[in-house]
């Protein structure tokens, strides 16, 4: 099956993306230019990514102690993607971009994620560069960001440390001023950075001329002590190879060393690294003394933004990465759905039951004719296509935030705040479940490498942890997002849900009523979780809250999609209506159990002493 008809429907028939052409930023665009971008990305994904998805899974990155070797197919795919212009698709014409709506960019990137998420398509590089375009100096933008947009340089984000993981307040990487003139460097205030970073995707390779690391670190106080908590965190540019103010390599290797590769169950085509900064393997500018804590030692690093504001800057990239992870999880779910649908249409097994039971003399039927197979296929469709619709809806909010009126932009900002944890978490849980169902449909063959579904599951299993676990997303949602600005973001989302229920009242009355009831339950749970409670009590069941919230959001998305179909009676429209009915009848009722423990602040998990395990 082809993804394109689904993308076209969601972009044009549902989201009406052509309406963006009336915005000054997008006046040069049309349906034709949007289609040309989609055509190009679909072709590159088909030719350079999909045929090599299994190859990069079996031929993992190899480190010989000096450099990392990747298959030639990965080099070819990276080159094709960079040459397509997609790394800078949404950027201004003046910096080589296309001024493409982010909605169209997100849809175009979906083809790469489905073809081979393991090869990757530059999510971290574009996110790195986008952050610098907002928080970097003019020269940092020119030297680092623009070279990333062209594909000449690539980028990473370096947050986690072996001892800290997701607890960023506990990072121990330190940055000390490099000489008395450290503030006068044209590329930014110059520091020497020492520390270790773990789980760094694309942290070492030979795909690009240089790798630009964005690193969180702390600047010691006057007594040489690290400031506790997140307020002491700053953000630094640490290039693998040093450059001059024209962006040209100086021939000096920065003190960034690969300590080793992590070998994960999935995403095996992407290098995942442990990096040592400033350990002395590659001494750099050793005579540039004057630095604190060891003059002239450590990796050369340039401050981004102001000291102590590193996490605020990094969240620009982290939120973008969370949406990207959600899209990756979605497309892996979609890939498994298409694979299992094709298998179900062709695999004969079993015979139909009649009044007298099964007649062994009759020919076998294809397994898609069995009700339980249809249930599993419909579940996959409901999870994956619903998640894709949500991701593109959120991308449309990004365009509204950047090009809408001041009032509309502020509304879009708040809606994105509330929806981002769902965009990341729902697909990473339920599209993984879709992959599990795809394996089930394949039966015993699903566990073999003769079929792709086991790889899709392994690749997707990482996304529940990528860019923040369910627990982190849940605490962000219940502990911050639904409360911020006196709950205005939640109120705005509720208004949109109620508007969908109102317009669908005639043709989808039971579903409209169910959505209203679900929304009421979520509202009550939000209030009761916090009613006189300490944060630890309120957040003890944050994950069930996240699950119920996510299911309510996807139910709303499906109802809006189904209502938009009107009188369309095509096979595709019938399938979308069935997916909507499935989600409301089989999935949405689950929220009651999830929210019950939230409302009561059930202490079963929180109060159990560790000795009882």
The DSSP string of 218-270 is E---TTSPPPPSGGGEEEEEEESEEE-TTS-EEEEEPSEEEEEE---SS-TTS
Whether the predicted pLDDT of 409 surpasses 60: yes
Beta strands in 436-551 (DSSP E): none
Token pair recorded at residue 360: 């062994």
- Give the pLDDT mean for 227-243: 93
pLDDT score, position 164: 80
Are 196 and 259 contacting, i.e. CB atoms less than 8 angstroms apart? yes
Of all residues in the chain, the percent with pLDDT exceeding 70 is 98
Closest C-alpha to 436, from 456, 410, 415: 456
The overall average pLDDT reported for the chain is 94
Whether the predicted pLDDT of 547 surpasses 60: yes
Of all residues in the chain, the percent with pLDDT exceeding 90 is 88
Q: What is the pLDDT of residues 472-517, one digit of tens each?
A: 999 999 999 999 999 999 999 999 999 999 999 999 999 999 999 9
pLDDT score, position 362: 87
400 is a catalytic site residue? no
Strand partners, 157: 214
The residue annotated as part of the active site, out of 429, 467, 511, 587, is: 467
Whether the predicted pLDDT of 139 surpasses 80: yes
Q: What is the pLDDT of residues 309-352, one digit of tens each?
A: 999 998 888 888 899 999 999 999 999 999 999 999 999 998 87
Between CA 263 and CA 347 the distance in angstroms is 35
Confidence of residue 296 (pLDDT cuts 50, 70, 90): low
Mode of pairing for the β-strands spanning 241-243 and 249-253? antiparallel
Q: Residue 253's Cα: distance from chain center in Å? A: 31
How many CA atoms within 13 Å lie on the side-chain side of 515?
Answer: 29
For residue 546, give the H/E element and its range. helix 542-564
pLDDT score, position 351: 86
Are 138 and 184 contacting, i.e. CB atoms less than 8 angstroms apart? no
Are 249 and 241 contacting, i.e. CB atoms less than 8 angstroms apart? yes
Between CA 305 and CA 133 the distance in angstroms is 11
Q: What is the pLDDT of residues 553-599, one digit of tens each?
A: 999 999 999 999 999 999 999 999 999 999 999 999 999 999 999 99
Between CA 459 and CA 438 the distance in angstroms is 14
Rounded to two decimals, the pTM is: 0.95
pLDDT score, position 295: 47
pLDDT score, position 242: 98
Are 497 and 515 contacting, i.e. CB atoms less than 8 angstroms apart? yes
Between CA 141 and CA 302 the distance in angstroms is 13
162 or 517: which carries more pLDDT confidence? 517
Confidence of residue 289 (pLDDT cuts 50, 70, 90): very low
SS3 state of residue 156:
strand
Handedness of CA 319, 601, 483, 532 (dihedral sign): negative
Token pair recorded at residue 582: 């499935």
pLDDT score, position 206: 94
Confidence of residue 292 (pLDDT cuts 50, 70, 90): very low
Please report where in the chains the tokens 């000390």 appear, as a residue. Answer: 176
SS3 state of residue 197:
strand
pLDDT score, position 294: 43
Q: What is the pLDDT of residues 193-216, one digit of tens each?
A: 999 999 999 999 999 999 999 999
Whether the predicted pLDDT of 227 surpasses 90: no
Between CA 88 and CA 202 the distance in angstroms is 19
Residues sharing a CB contact under 8 Å with residue 312, sequence separation 6 or more, in sequence order: 305
- φ and ψ at residue 520, rounded to 5 degrees: -60, -45
pLDDT score, position 235: 97
Strand partners, 346: none
pLDDT score, position 66: 85
SS3 state of residue 180:
coil
Confidence of residue 228 (pLDDT cuts 50, 70, 90): confident
Q: What is the pLDDT of residues 2-37, one digit of tens each?
A: 999 999 999 999 999 999 999 999 999 999 999 999
- Give the pLDDT mean for 458-462: 97
Whether the predicted pLDDT of 452 surpasses 90: yes
Whether the predicted pLDDT of 287 surpasses 50: no
For residue 205, give the H/E element and its range. none
pLDDT score, position 239: 98
């Amino acid at each position: 099956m082809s993804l394109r008809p689904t993308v076209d429907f969601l972009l044009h028939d549902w989201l009406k993306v052509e309406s963006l052409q009336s915005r000054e930023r997008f006046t040069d665009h049309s349906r034709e230019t949007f289609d040309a971008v989609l055509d190009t990305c679909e072709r590159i994904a088909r030719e350079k990514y999909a045929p090599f998805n299994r190859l990069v899974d079996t031929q993992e990155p190899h480190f010989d102690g000096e450099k990392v070797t990747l298959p030639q197919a990965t080099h070819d795919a990276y080159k094709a993607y960079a040459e397509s212009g997609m790394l800078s698709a949404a950027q201004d014409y003046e910096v080589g971009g296309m001024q493409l709506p982010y909605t169209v960019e997100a849809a175009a990137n979906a083809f790469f994620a489905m073809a081979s998420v393991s090869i990757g398509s530059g999510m971290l590089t574009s996110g790195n560069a986008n952050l610098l375009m907002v928080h970097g100096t003019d020269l940092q933008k020119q030297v680092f960001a623009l070279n990333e947009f062209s594909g000449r340089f690539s980028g990473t984000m370096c947050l986690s440390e072996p001892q800290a993981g997701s607890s960023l307040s506990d990072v121990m990487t330190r940055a000390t001023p490099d000489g008395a003139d450290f503030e006068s460097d044209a590329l930014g205030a110059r520091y020497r950075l020492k520390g270790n970073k773990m789980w760094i995707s694309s942290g070492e390779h030979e795909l690009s001329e240089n790798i630009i690391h964005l690193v969180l670190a702390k600047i010691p106080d006057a007594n040489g002590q690290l400031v506790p908590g997140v307020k002491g965190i700053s953000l630094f540019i640490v290039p693998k190879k040093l450059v001059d103010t024209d962006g040209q390599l100086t021939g000096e290797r920065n003190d960034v060393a690969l300590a080793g590769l992590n070998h994960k169950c999935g995403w095996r085509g992407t290098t995942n690294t442990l990096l040592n900064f400033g350990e002395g393997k590659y001494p750099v500018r050793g005579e540039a003394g004057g630095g604190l804590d060891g003059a002239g030692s450590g990796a050369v690093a340039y401050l981004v933004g102001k000291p102590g504001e590193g996490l605020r800057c990094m969240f620009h990239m982290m939120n973008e990465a969370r949406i990207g992870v959600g899209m990756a999880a979605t497309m892996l779910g979609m890939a498994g759905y298409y694979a299992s649908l094709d298998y179900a249409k062709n695999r004969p097994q079993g015979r139909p039951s009649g009044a007298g039971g099964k007649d062994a003399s009759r020919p076998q039927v294809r397994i898609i004719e069995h009700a339980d197979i249809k249930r599993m296929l419909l579940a996959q469709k409901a999870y994956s296509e619903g998640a894709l619709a949500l991701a593109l809806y959120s991308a449309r909010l990004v365009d509204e935030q950047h090009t809408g009126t001041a009032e509309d932009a502020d509304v879009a900002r708040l809606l994105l705040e509330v929806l981002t944890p769902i965009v990341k978490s729902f697909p990473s849980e339920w599209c993984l479940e879709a992959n599990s169902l795809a394996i089930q449909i394949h039966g015993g063959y699903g566990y073999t490498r003769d079929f792709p579904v086991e790889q899709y599951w392994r690749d997707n299993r990482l996304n529940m942890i990528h860019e923040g676990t369910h627990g982190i997303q849940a605490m962000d949602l219940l502990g911050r997002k639904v409360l911020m600005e006196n709950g205005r973001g939640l109120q705005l989302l509720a208004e949109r849900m109620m508007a969908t229920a109102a317009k669908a009242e005639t043709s989808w009355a039971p579903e409209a009523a169910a959505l209203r009831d679900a929304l009421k339950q979520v509202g009550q749970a939000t209030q009761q979780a916090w009613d006189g409670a300490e944060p630890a009590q309120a957040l003890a069941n944050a994950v069930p809250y996240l699950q119920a919230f996510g299911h309510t959001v996807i139910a709303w998305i499906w109802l809006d999609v189904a209502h938009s179909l009107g009188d369309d009676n095509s096979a595709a429209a019938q399938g979308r209506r069935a997916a909507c009915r499935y989600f409301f009848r089989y999935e949405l009722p689950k929220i009651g159990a999830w929210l019950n423990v939230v409302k009561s602040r059930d202490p079963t998990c929180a109060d159990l002493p560790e000795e009882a395990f």
